[in-house]
């Protein structure tokens, strides 16, 4: 039998995996895997276990939210192995799993691990850290995972936040120099993100329809400083329609992004604290990890 390391976050998504754990392991056993289960004990535990034990197994599978997947992928990269990763999304938001088009149902997601195929995905390097799908800064990134999902679903998260802004004085703007593959721009911005996902914080991002998880390019979007409340309304409209409006947004596809600011900027990486930095260097690690996706995506990859 092939050997699987199954890392389980029992508290993610209000413990969604707990009542299904026996069924999931049974699916893995019937699929030909000898399963070793490790329940994560604390933050970074999945990262450390994946790093230390990746070489012992044929496959690493994790169940939890996107933050759990982020830890596992970071651990695999640090282990210097090429072991594929399976993912059973069981978090509250599951942005990246939707970009991967993984089943929402836990049992079906477990079946995908057995019957799907490894698909090469890009990974982001943020200074010395890694992220799977988004590095972001600004008021939206700081509270994105605290907003009720019902509000995100009904309006879209950025539009929801911007719609509540009554005065420009409520928003903090930062002057930044952004370098995207050698193209430089200096301007004042209120929000920025470098992403490899069609969804962030529960909302569909502008430009997300053309997302490719394995093309070596990020989607880079920074929202410029609005001149007045009317500009905010126009930004909300663009976000709702998922349009790129150059007047209000700086949007590019790039493999490397360098960002400089004269003050410390608080970043989030895949929804977790990424620290505060004045200078940031972000690099796309082309097809750095294989994640199991439905068979159809492997076939499409072969036709490129």
Alpha helix ranges (H) inside the chain: 21-30, 45-53, 66-79, 95-99, 106-115, 139-143, 149-155, 157-163, 229-241, 295-302
Give the strand pairing for 59-64 and 249-254. unpaired
Structure tokens that stand for 14 in this block: 């209000």
Taking residue 180's Cβ as centre, other Cβ atoms within 10 Å add up to: 22
Q: Give the integer Cα–Cα distance in Å for 274 and 272.
A: 6
Q: Exactly one of 183, 272, 290, 295 is catalytic; which is it?
A: 272
Is 272 noted as a catalytic residue in this protein?
yes
CA-based angle 160:166:167, to the nearest 5?
125
Upper half-sphere CA count for residue 29 (Cβ side, 13 Å): 8
Q: Kindly list the catalytic residues.
A: 272
């Amino acid at each position: 039998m092939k050997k699987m390391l199954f890392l389980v976050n029992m508290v993610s998504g209000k413990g969604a995996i707990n009542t299904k754990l026996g069924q999931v392991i049974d699916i893995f056993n019937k699929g030909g895997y000898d399963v070793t289960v490790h329940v994560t004990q604390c933050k970074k535990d999945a990262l450390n276990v994946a790093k230390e034990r990746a070489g012992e197994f044929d496959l690493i599978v994790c169940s939890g939210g996107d933050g759990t997947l982020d830890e596992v992928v970071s651990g695999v990269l640090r282990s210097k192995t090429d072991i594929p990763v399976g993912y059973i999304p069981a978090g509250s938001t599951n942005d990246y799993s939707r970009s991967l088009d993984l089943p929402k149902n836990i049992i079906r997601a477990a079946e995908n691990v057995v019957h799907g195929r490894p698909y090469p995905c890009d990974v982001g390097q943020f200074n010395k850290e890694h992220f799977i799908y988004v590095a972001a800064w600004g008021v939206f990134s700081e509270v994105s995972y605290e907003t009720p999902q019902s509000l995100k679903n009904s309006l879209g998260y950025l539009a929801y936040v911007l719609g509540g802004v009554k005065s420009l004085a409520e928003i903090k703007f930062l002057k930044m120099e952004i370098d995207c593959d050698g193209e430089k721009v200096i301007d004042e911005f209120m929000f920025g993100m470098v992403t490899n996902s069609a969804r962030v914080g529960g909302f569909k991002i502008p430009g997300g329809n053309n997302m490719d998880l394995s093309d070596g390019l990020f989607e880079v979007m920074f929202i410029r400083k609005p001149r007045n409340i009317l500009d905010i309304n126009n930004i909300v409209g663009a976000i709702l329609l998922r349009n790129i409006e150059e007047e209000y947004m700086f949007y590019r596809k790039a493999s490397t992004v360098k960002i400089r600011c004269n003050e410390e900027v608080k970043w989030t990486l895949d929804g977790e604290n990424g620290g505060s930095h004045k200078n940031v260097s972000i690099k796309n690690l082309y097809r750095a990890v294989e994640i199991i996706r439905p068979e159809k995506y492997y076939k499409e990859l072969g036709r490129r």
